[in-house]
């Protein structure tokens, strides 16, 4: 079993904690397949493929044969979730008194949890003024682990209505025809500026997961 980090927004964190979000779709890139195709590719080809979306497989590989190349893992692997957070430290004997810890003072290894505390933005602690971006969250600060239960590849527009609702973290059958529109807007807000908008219809990794203790 391998562990890998994955980033989610505050709203998606809330949905995961409520067990409403159990899928994620991420753009599939040619560089994800480099281990499989490296020995038969020229340097120029690898350079071009490293930047390209997964449009078709080189060397005649069926798409099903590359699922083990998924950069997020295979069934049985785990993802540890990065989210917007703040590290705080206990002041004196009063557990309700906290002060912000500057970035350079963050411990490099797992802290003594009787001394260090983590605030998570998804928990609604809006009184905390300074939040640290999720990309900077260290492994020991993560509170959510996800076990991958299935991986597949498909075009993003092949998503079903029910999967749109799962991706959006909504209750099943709660959005109806609006599910596609809302998911399309969410997808474009994240991926259009990268050149992988809805209308491009890129191949995506579909990762299904469950939350574990």
27: domain CATH number is 2.30.130.30
Domain containing 160 equals 3-80+144-212
The reply to whether 177 and 195 lie within a common domain is: yes
The reply to whether 90 and 40 lie within a common domain is: no
The reply to whether 74 and 154 lie within a common domain is: yes
The reply to whether 44 and 106 lie within a common domain is: no
The reply to whether 157 and 206 lie within a common domain is: yes
In this prediction, residue 31 carries a pLDDT of: 62
In this prediction, residue 175 carries a pLDDT of: 85
In this prediction, residue 161 carries a pLDDT of: 93
The reply to whether 76 and 148 lie within a common domain is: yes
Phi-psi category of 154—alpha, beta or left, where left has phi over 0 and alpha has psi -120 to 50? beta
Q: List per-block mean pLDDT (blocks of 10 residues) for the chain, which spans 213 residues.
A: 94 95 89 53 50 52 66 93 83 46 51 70 77 90 95 91 94 86 96 93 92 90
The reply to whether 66 and 153 lie within a common domain is: yes
DSSP string, 136-155: G--GGG---EEEEEEEEEEE
In this prediction, residue 130 carries a pLDDT of: 79
pTM assigned to the model:
0.77
In this prediction, residue 154 carries a pLDDT of: 86
Residue 212 exposed, middle or buried by CB count within 10 Å (0-12, 13-18, 19+):
exposed
């Amino acid at each position: 079993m391998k562990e890998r980090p994955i980033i989610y927004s505050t709203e998606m964190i809330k949905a995961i904690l409520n067990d409403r979000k159990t899928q994620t779709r991420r753009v599939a890139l040619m560089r994800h397949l480099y281990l499989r195709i490296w020995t038969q590719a020229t340097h120029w080809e690898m350079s071009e493929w490293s930047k390209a979306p997964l449009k078709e497989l080189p060397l005649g590989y069926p798409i099903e044969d590359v699922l083990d190349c998924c950069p997020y893992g295979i069934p049985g692997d785990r993802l540890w979730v990065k989210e917007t957070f703040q590290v705080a430290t206990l002041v004196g004997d009063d557990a309700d008194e906290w002060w912000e810890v500057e970035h350079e003072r963050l411990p490099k290894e797992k802290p003594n949890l009787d001394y260090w505390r983590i605030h998570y933005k998804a928990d609604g602690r809006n009184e905390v003024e300074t939040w640290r971006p999720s990309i900077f969250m260290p492994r020991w600060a993560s509170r959510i682990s996800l076990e991958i239960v299935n991986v597949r590849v498909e075009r993003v527009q092949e998503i079903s209505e029910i999967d749109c609702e799962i991706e959006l973290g909504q209750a099943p059958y709660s959005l109806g025809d609006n599910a596609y529109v809302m998911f399309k807007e969410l997808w474009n807000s994240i991926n259009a500026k990268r050149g992988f908008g809805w209308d491009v219809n890129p191949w995506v990794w579909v990762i299904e997961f469950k939350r574990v203790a």
